[in-house]
Amino acid sequence: MRIDLSEKTALVTGSSAGIGFSIARGLAGAGADVVVNGRSEKTVTAAVDKIRQEVPDAAVRPAVADVATDDGANRVVDLAGDVDILVNNLGIFGAIPALEITDDDWRRYFEVNVLASARLTRLLLPAMMERGWGRVLNIASDSAVVIPEEMIHYGTSKTALLAASRGFAKAAAGTGVTVNSVIAGPTHTGGVEDFVYQLVDRALPWEEAQREFMRTNRPQSLLQRLIEPEEIANMVVYLASPLASATTGGAVRVDGGYVDSILP
């Protein structure tokens, strides 16, 4: 299967590290002109340089701004130009006991995990529809379906993202633009390592800590290991391609079998 995204421009939010970086690198490897986004000029520049080193002849450029704000989103849109593929990857997560989640916590999680995606979709989707081709991909989580007791604010925000994705897909019906969510399972990133050590003994070596986390906190996983970011990126690159033209309004799982359902 050959995926060719040449002459397509892709914007990946929160792509200076982790899953977002792997997605940006994967899209660049398929020939897309990739816009790497983050809040820190240092980390975004480092990510751009790393992609250029790892992907020969990569077309990749930076867009430094906080897309969880109106000004930041508008700045990124101006820097990116005409966007054919929007990957709303930016997200935050953390463990807080349910009864200790404050109103400010709830607002922050919805601002970053839901409204940032909705805002950029609102800004970029109309032009995609006018051109008759486009892809909007929202990176969701297994936590949207199986709400974790240690972070219901995060899980609820990702549930809302699934609903928003379905709604935007209906808005784009018949235009040649597809809108989908990707339900990512427990994935191995630097942030997740910190999260794991919030829940297991910090004295454990990483491999033991990971196994303990999966055994005690994610026992439903059929993969029985953390997913690597590249495995999420592979699905995103496919869904961003012309090969996925009949997939829209969906919640596509890359969860290692974590969600115990034959449907999302």
**Catalytic machinery residues:** 154
Rounded Cα–Cα distance for residues 112 and 41 (Å) = 19
Question: Which residue shows structure tokens 């699934």?
Answer: 162
CB 231 within 8 A of CB 189: no
Residue 140 makes CB contacts below 8 A (sequence gap 6+) with 158, 161, 162, 165, 181, 182, 183, 184, 251
Edge-first strand listing for the sheet containing 85-88: 59-64, 33-38, 9-12, 85-88, 134-141, 177-184, 251-254
Count of residues making up the chain: 264
Quick count: other Cβ atoms within 10 Å of Cβ 262? Answer: 5
Question: Rounded CA gap, 122 and 204, in Å?
Answer: 45
How far apart CA 247 and CA 264 sit, in angstroms, is 15
Q: Within a 10 A sphere around the Cβ of 255, how many other Cβ atoms?
A: 25
